[in-house]
Amino acid sequence: PRFETCWPALMKDSHGVVIVFNPELPSHLKELETWYSCFVQQQPLLDGQCLLVAHHKPGSAGDTDDLSLAYPLNKLKLIHSNLEEDPEDVRMEFMKYFRSIITFINESREREEMSIIS
């Protein structure tokens, strides 16, 4: 929230939002709703254009299966990242996310062109 004045510039013309948080910090879990509201709902972006990344620090004992988020955050794609244990999994999930954003952009552009033609 310190940089709230910069948010409009960050959001301008964005096609996707990746929210990285530490699932072991209760304050991060509370802030998730604010980030989602400001960066996704108010733009507005579709839920599919948002990716949540629960980042587990090296040596943290967090159980990746034990994180349950409340509505509407539970509708979003959530991945767990632990770069010590499985960086390749995280990379693959990011690639899938980026491909879905590119597909979305291309489809939007095609719809726009069709509406201009007709």
Domain carrying residue 50: 13-58+67-117
Domain membership of residue 3 (yes or no) is: no
79-95: pLDDT as tens digits = 998 877 778 888 999 99
From CA 39, how far away is CA 27, in angstroms rounded?
18
In the chain, the number of structural domains is 1
Which of 1-15, 53-67, 71-85, 92-106 has the least mean pLDDT? Answer: 53-67
pLDDT of residue 62: 55
Domain membership of residue 44 (yes or no) is: yes
Q: What share of the chain is helix, strand, coil (3-state, %, to 5)?
A: 55, 15, 30
In the predicted structure, residue 63 carries a pLDDT above the cut 60: no
Domain membership of residue 4 (yes or no) is: no
Which residues does 102 contact at the CB level (< 8 Å), separation at least 6?
none
Domain membership of residue 78 (yes or no) is: yes
Domain membership of residue 1 (yes or no) is: no
Domain membership of residue 110 (yes or no) is: yes
Percentage of the chain exceeding pLDDT 70: 92
pLDDT of residue 52: 96
